[in-house]
Structure 1
Amino acid sequence: MKLRNNGNLLAVFAFTFWGLLPLYFSLLSSADVFEILAVRIIFSVPIMLLAMHFMAATHTPIKTLLADKKSLFLCFLAGLCGLISLWAFTEASSRGDVLAASLGYFINPLCSIALAVAILGERLSWAKKTAVVLAVLGISYQVYSYGELPWLSLIMAGAFAVYGLIKKYIKFDSFMSITIEVILLMPLALIYMGWLYFSGESDFFSTTSAQQLLYIGMAPAVLAPMILFSFAVDRASLSSIGLTQYIEPSLQFLIAVLIFGEVFDQVKLISFGFIWLGLVFCILEATKVIKSKKRVLN
């Protein structure tokens, strides 16, 4: 079986790449976060266009794309939400707070659940209700102990959950949607880079060639897992892919504690513990659903 046809394996690779991204971001720890994101967007456009060509992705006529103004607008909104989430992730990773990034992605499924109830009117199972309550308790304990909300984690999780919700209403396929998102955001990125260049505040234009390559490498580093994930969604059930998503924050957690030596104190242990316990309930429920579907198919 070809790799690109194995949805579950593709999802594992995608979330593994995402989980390892803090290691790459640490190489640009002194760079301006907004400049990192701007360069990433600019170089993402040619990469996505080449990927669409060589991977034989669905080619929708330009006229058809331009006619669907609603989907184009939603692509722009989705791109902004994805950019906000990536900003929070990059900010956390570059300033040595990978635990915040890990917490954000552990919270993300629970934010998606909350949006599904509030916007889509979905009903929660007992496992999901329990997970949401435990997550609220975990975050509340952290707020009580530290005296502040884990803003980066919440922004990262909330923005990415909204990104996923918006994508449900876009009529283009996921691959085309990602391409349009970066194309629509590119003018903003070019304006920002132009302002930095003419004001003499750009690190990208004044740094070494090696550092510039690290900036440019951000584009494929972020896009590679997104492309793999887009193929995975088309080739595997969302329930099975949903179980693999915890690879990402788990890897980030291990990187934060074992490689970067971030402090994992008692407060974070209890806070993460509440959230982990809730996710265990969700995983057990999802596993049960997958097994029951297999029995029906057999």
Structure 2
Amino acid sequence: MQSRRAGNMLAAFSFILWGILPLYYQYLPQANTNELLALRLIFSVPVMLIVMVLLRQPIPAIKDILADKKSLAMCGFAGVIMSVSWYAFTWAITHGEVLAASLGYFINPLFAIALAMFFLKETLSKAQIIAVILAILGIGYQVWQYGQLPWLSLVMGSFFAVYGLTKKYIKYDALTSVTIEAAILTPFALIYMIWLYFSGDSVALTSGTTTFLLYAGAAPVTVAPLIFFALALNRTSLTMVGLMQYIEPSLQFLLAIFLFGEVFDQTKAISFGLIWLGLIFCTVEALPAMFRHKKAILPSH
């Protein structure tokens, strides 16, 4: 019980950190997303090793990592999946599409619920079924009005849900798995940055110290919530994580409308409204269980 409660708190904190990430990326408008991804991968490994030292967690030996080849392979897969989701997210928030990022992560909990049902055999409640149907209607309404799928939002939401599912099959501890995910892709990122530098096309490496530090800073500011998210997945259910996910897009939505001045037209209002309604159904349904759990952990007199 205590472990699940801690997992819920860790998940909530990770989503709050993700929700305010657009504030950081406003210093990098129209950023080169390829370089951002490459430098994030490169600097994530030393950042993670520093975190392990600060938390006094032993750095696993190479032989111990190689002993579990299935987890190693799943880490590689998780790293690729996270890179796709993170690439779409970063492009959105550096190119004036914070609302698209918000929609993507409003959709994500519903993808997570569906994946939990099909792969982890978690049973969907009536409220969750209603939420999935309302989300489909919300996306369908946007397609009908705009004449195209919100691809950016769908890529972010679906790939991040798959990432969460993948983490359930990795036996390494949370910090180790996040480190390995970045380490596997780091050689490719290094090769890309070296090629970019010698071809004269690099922005991060040729635009001064401040720009480079902002690009490199993408590692710690994105790794921090990822660490808390990974810790949460080991302590709570994927369904609960999926439901708590909407903390992040809610913050991004507020930033997009009230701080960044993005247009929120009638089509988006109806689409978001349908998705929000589904999330409200899920939240209301979950409240009695949350109160029962809270009562159960209170000391008796």
Give the alignment's TM-score, normalised by structure 2.
0.91
Task: Give the match's secondary structure for 2:112.
Answer: helix
Query: Structure 2 vs 1, CA of residues 11 and 164 (structure 1 numbering), >3 Å: closer, same or farther?
Result: closer
Task: Note if 1:266 corresponds to 2:266.
Answer: yes
Residue 286 of structure 1 deviates from its aligned partner by 2.0
Residue 289 of structure 1 deviates from its aligned partner by 2.0
Q: Distance in 2 between matches of 1:229 and 1:118?
A: 22
Tell me the equivalent position of 2:149: 149
CA distances 1:4-36 after superposition (whole Å, capped 9, x unpaired): x96555444322221111121121122210111
Match for 2:292: what amino acid? S
Match for 1:92: what amino acid? A
Tell me the equivalent position of 1:116: 116
Contact 2:117 2:123 in 1 (8 A): yes
Show the 5 A alignment for 1:62-77: 62-77=62-77
Residue 58 of structure 1 deviates from its aligned partner by 5.0
Residue 119 of structure 1 deviates from its aligned partner by 2.8
Tell me the equivalent position of 2:78: 78
Query: Structure 2 vs 1, CA of residues 58 and 277 (structure 1 numbering), >3 Å: closer, same or farther?
Result: farther
Tell me the equivalent position of 1:140: 140
Match for 1:174: what amino acid? A
Tell me the equivalent position of 2:162: 162
Residue 39 of structure 1 deviates from its aligned partner by 0.5
Match for 1:288: what amino acid? P
Query: Structure 2 vs 1, CA of residues 170 and 232 (structure 1 numbering), >3 Å: closer, same or farther?
Result: closer
Q: Distance in 1 between matches of 2:112 and 2:232?
A: 19
Task: Note if 1:106 corresponds to 2:106.
Answer: yes
Query: Structure 2 vs 1, CA of residues 65 and 226 (structure 1 numbering), >3 Å: closer, same or farther?
Result: same
Tell me the equivalent position of 1:291: 291
Aligned residue pairs total 294
Q: Distance in 2 between matches of 1:110 and 1:240?
A: 11
Q: Distance in 1 between matches of 2:102 and 2:257?
A: 11
Tell me the equivalent position of 1:275: 275
Query: Structure 2 vs 1, CA of residues 95 and 158 (structure 1 numbering), >3 Å: closer, same or farther?
Result: same
Q: Distance in 2 between matches of 1:24 and 1:297?
A: 38
Query: Structure 2 vs 1, CA of residues 57 and 229 (structure 1 numbering), >3 Å: closer, same or farther?
Result: farther
Residue 231 of structure 1 deviates from its aligned partner by 4.2
Show the 5 A alignment for 1:164-179: 164-179=164-179
Show the 5 A alignment for 1:173-252: 173-233=173-233, 244-252=244-252
Residue 61 of structure 1 deviates from its aligned partner by 3.3
Query: Structure 2 vs 1, CA of residues 66 and 174 (structure 1 numbering), >3 Å: closer, same or farther?
Result: same
Contact 2:71 2:169 in 1 (8 A): yes
CA distances 1:240-282 after superposition (whole Å, capped 9, x unpaired): 7665432211110001001111000000000000000000111
Match for 1:266: what amino acid? Q
CA RMSD of aligned residues (A): 2.1
Contact 1:204 1:212 in 2 (8 A): yes
**Which segment is superposed worse, 20-29 or 179-188?**
20-29
Contact 1:128 1:282 in 2 (8 A): yes
Match for 2:228: what amino acid? L
Q: Distance in 2 between matches of 1:294 and 1:21?
A: 31
Q: Distance in 2 between matches of 1:165 and 1:224?
A: 20
Q: Distance in 1 between matches of 2:165 and 2:60?
A: 23
Query: Structure 2 vs 1, CA of residues 177 and 157 (structure 1 numbering), >3 Å: closer, same or farther?
Result: same
Match for 2:93: what amino acid? S
Contact 2:164 2:238 in 1 (8 A): no
Match for 2:17: what amino acid? F
Q: Distance in 2 between matches of 1:287 and 1:58?
A: 39
Contact 1:79 1:185 in 2 (8 A): yes
Q: Distance in 2 between matches of 1:9 and 1:287?
A: 16
CA distances 1:185-221 after superposition (whole Å, capped 9, x unpaired): 1011111111111211111111011111101111111
Query: Structure 2 vs 1, CA of residues 193 and 93 (structure 1 numbering), >3 Å: closer, same or farther?
Result: same
Give the alignment's TM-score, normalised by structure 1.
0.92
Gaps of 5+ in 2: none
Task: Give the match's secondary structure for 2:31.
Answer: coil
Q: Equivalent pairs: percent with the same residue? A: 56
Contact 2:98 2:256 in 1 (8 A): yes
Residue 297 of structure 1 deviates from its aligned partner by 5.2
Tell me the equivalent position of 1:38: 38
Query: Structure 2 vs 1, CA of residues 69 and 232 (structure 1 numbering), >3 Å: closer, same or farther?
Result: closer
**Which segment is superposed worse, 239-248 or 53-62?**
239-248
